[in-house]
Chains A and B, each alone.
Chain A
Amino acid sequence: MFLQLFVVNKSGGLIYNQNLSSAAPRLNSNDWLRLGSTFHSLHAIAAQVAPVPSSGIEKLETDTFKLQSFQTLTGVKFVITAEAGTPDLGGVLQEIYELYTDYVLKNPFYELEMPIRCELFTLYLEELIERHSNAGGAPGGGGGGGKKPAGQY
């Protein structure tokens, strides 16, 4: 099951955060900002200290959760966390990137590098997460609708 998603712009600022499950820890907005910029720094350090050319932190697996990060060639980082044992999150991150290009970047009122306040993005993100949770979490039980976004957490 997915826990949280956050998006960091190329200068390390947090531009989006969303809880994807009621089991996700509740963070206040300061915590979120700190998390975003700390991850950005660690990502940069990881890429620099690696003995071979590296694209920074891609996966982090622990006993209780896993984290996966996807950095686009333009420098935006999409980071998702999920419960331990969730299958590879790369596909979901790629789909989230596509949603971002459609519902954030194509919104003429969105300014690049600024926090994402696009309801459509959140709506389709929730739909996507629900679709994936149904497909992965409960075999046979999913598939129903999926149009209605999961409630606000």
Chain B
Amino acid sequence: MATSSKSHQRTGEQAWGKISKVNAELFTLTYGAMVMQLIQDFEDVGAVNKQLESMGYNIGVRLIDEFLAKAGVSTPCTDLKETADVVAKVAFKMFLGVTADVSSWNGDGTAFSLLLYDNPLIEFVELPPQYSGLLYSNLLCGVIRGALEMVQMKVSCRCVRDVLRGDDVNEIRVELKEMMEDVMDEDYKEG
């Protein structure tokens, strides 16, 4: 486990080196402007959270292919432990430039937490009291859900701890709902 985690770390570094970069402030400010616009459009924090998640989902279902094509993780993951490690060490590194820690596995190994100590999205953000229910980084939950769904894993993701809301770390809880069977089954059932 420890060795494979190390090698994923290296894979992540290599992927990060290969991929094209964008100015971090442009990225952070664009995300901030987008969240602000959503708040103005929806006027309800719950709806904004939902919208962020669904935008993330739409990103995730596309992003996964870029990850598979360029990350250099060629073999499918054998179990959820490996998947979690690859998400935390390779995918986060490749797309956000930071790594996450995997922790808090549940008893039967179907749920884990991603701990994000260094979240580039919140670099300049202070959450005002009237938006205390806002899950600012909820987009990330959607991305993870969308990406894993494309590789036959139905998961649910939610932010359980958030630095912006006074916690000491960002924690995303990922729960495996089901492994989807062969993708073609659903299509044939209709006919």
Contacts and interface: CB of A to CB of B under 8 A. Distances in A.
Contacts of B61: 112
B128 interface: no
Nearest to B188: A11
B151 interface: yes
A102 B150 CA distance: 17
Given A73-B76, A98-B70, A105 B183 contact: no
Q: Is the interface of A mostly helix, strand, loop or mixed?
A: loop
Interface in A61-116: 72-76, 94, 97-98, 100-102, 105-106, 112
A79 to B, nearest CB: 16
Contacts of B63: 105
Nearest to A98: B69
A12 interface: yes
Interface residues of A, number: 18
Interface string B64-106: 1110111000001000000000000000000000000000000
B187 interface: yes
Contacts of A72: 65, 68-69
Contacts of A128: none
A44 interface: yes
Interface string A35-79: 000000000100000000000000000000000000011111000
Interface residues of B, number: 15
B1 interface: no
A101 B184 CA distance: 22
A131 interface: no
A74 B69 contact: no
Contact of B184 (A44, A94, A100, A112): A44
Given A105-B62, A106-B62, A112-B62, A10 B183 contact: yes
Contacts of B64: 74
B127 to A, nearest CB: 29
Interface in B149-174: 150-151
Interface of A: 10-12, 44, 72-76, 94, 97-98, 100-102, 105-106, 112
26 contacts: A10-B183, A10-B184, A12-B184, A12-B187, A44-B184, A72-B65, A72-B69, A73-B68, A73-B76, A74-B65, A74-B68, A74-B150, A74-B151, A97-B65, A97-B68, A97-B69, A98-B69, A98-B70, A100-B69, A101-B66, A101-B69, A101-B70, A105-B63, A105-B65, A105-B66, A106-B66
Interface of B: 61-66, 68-70, 76, 150-151, 183-184, 187
Given A11-B184, A73-B151, A102-B66, 7 more contacts: A10-B184, A11-B187, A74-B64, A74-B68, A94-B69, A98-B69, A105-B65
